[in-house]
Amino acid sequence: MDAARRVPDACRMTNTDHMTGRFQDSVVLITGGGGGIGKAAARRFLDEGARVVLSGTRLAVLEQAQAELDPAGTRTAIVAGHITGREQAQALVHAAVERFGGVDVLVNSTGIFRPVPFLEQTEEHLEEALGSILRPTYWVSQAAAQAMRERGGGAIVNVGSMWAVDAIATTPTSAYSAAQAGRHALTKNLALELAPERIRVNTVALAFVETPAYERFMTPDEAREVLDAVDGFHPLGRRGQPQDVVEAILFYAGRESSWITGTTLPVDGGVLAGRSPAVHQEEAAAAA
């Protein structure tokens, strides 16, 4: 059965169920905005009245996303390129400011997930993880925070990972985990430093979510087989879908969370609840 069909009917909502205009005329910058969670978040922000800038490394993917989300291109802009340092990040934010007048929300959703055993990892594997996760998060957050300060505040939402919190033996991802742990660490550091500027910083930590990202290192059929196999890994009995994640992103970005900063919210089907140290201690005691 398709994973989307396993979402209980009571939990399913259409776009019209959500629309309240709560981000009317806000400017949202989404890195990794061309597909998966980034594109799903862009759709919801647009539903709520925002103007959205989509950033990513592949122009064709961004153009396809824009064609799906905003065919006229009146409420979206796309900026393609690798963010390797401060200069590229500043150029990205400058493009958003030039087009829409500022930045109110940043969603850092870049990342390449590639399981490789630690003893087989190369410099290229580590650089791929750092270059797709930590560096763009660091530099774009800095540039966006400067723009947010000029507008009196804003929100940064990082798309993090349970792999930054806990190790999963079946998916050896030391480089990815280290880079995501850096993203998580930035959440608390930036939350404290940017609080006087009324800029909030929070993270959502994900388990297995069905996105095209898995097809970067396996065929579509292999990706489907793997994703079908991990449903039981989640206490709620299924893998996540992008729409499971985006409402948490919008919550952190919006006024409903105006007194929340520096936190990490697991959006993981219950995985981290079952992997807490206390639970493991109880299991060990019971086994003894």
Looking at the structure of the chain, the number of domains it has is 1
Pick the closest to residue 77 from 19, 27, 136 (CA basis).
27
Domain of 241, CATH number, reads: 3.40.50.720
CA-based max dimension of the chain:
65
- Residue 214 a catalytic site member: no
What stretches of the chain adopt beta strand conformation (E)?
A: 27-31, 51-56, 76-80, 105-108, 154-161, 199-206, 264-267
Residue 283 has pLDDT above 80, yes or no: no
Instruction: Give the three-class secondary structure for 94.
Output: helix
Would 185 be classed as within a structural domain? yes
In a domain, 10, yes or no: no
pLDDT in tens, 170-197: 889 999 999 999 999 999 999 999 999 9
In a domain, 4, yes or no: no
- Residue 257: which domain range? 16-287
Give the residue from 166, 27, 153 showing the smallest Cα distance to 94: 27
Task: Give pLDDT tens digits for 91-131.
Answer: 999 999 999 999 999 999 999 998 999 999 999 999 999 99
- Note whether residue 141 is domain-resident: yes
Q: What is the pTM of this model?
A: 0.88
For residue 155, CA distances in Å to 12, 124, 178, 217, 246 come to: 27, 32, 24, 32, 15
Q: Is residue 165 part of a domain?
A: yes
Q: Tell me, yes or no, whether 209 lies in a domain.
A: yes
